[in-house]
A = this chain, B = another copy of it.
């Protein structure tokens, strides 16, 4: 099993949007989740740190929610980017999404000391509104499911980017 994404969508986010605690490549304290294509599905791999526990031996649910959150925004970004004729690594800046609604069902305790694999299926429900269904595996065991609605990043975030630039 391939356990690393080669071309991740997060690698192509503009620098101003690469600070996310979950998936921003420039956030030195963050998780650095990376999401790419695996055929028509999306994948994110992550090996939780020792401190990311709920109780000893099992992964913290908030970490799983975080993984599914960034996996979902990244998956929608991949899908809209592909719809626009682009692929990660081709030098074009991908669209950015934010999360409108996050649902995670925890099916089984998720064991530590293994790499987690999130597998996503993306559906467009509106040009600016996408839905991502995720299955989270630890080894071959399905431990959690995600159902996340994301929207193209609204102008309020863009305005903030402009303010940030103006203040520099």
Contact = CB atoms under 8 A, between A and B. Distances in A.
Interface residues of A, number: 44
15 contacts: A21-B62, A22-B60, A27-B51, A27-B53, A28-B51, A29-B51, A30-B51, A54-B98, A61-B98, A61-B99, A62-B65, A62-B66, A98-B109, A100-B105, A100-B106
Contact of A55 (B53, B69, B157): B157
A61 B102 contact: yes
A56 B160 CA distance: 8
A39 to B, nearest CB: 26
A161 interface: yes
Nearest to A158: B55
B56 A65 contact: no
A19 interface: yes
Interface of A: 16-17, 19-22, 27-30, 49, 51-58, 60-63, 65-67, 69-70, 98-106, 109, 156-157, 160-161, 163-164
A8 B66 CA distance: 25
A102 B65 contact: yes
A118 B156 CA distance: 23
A36 to B, nearest CB: 19
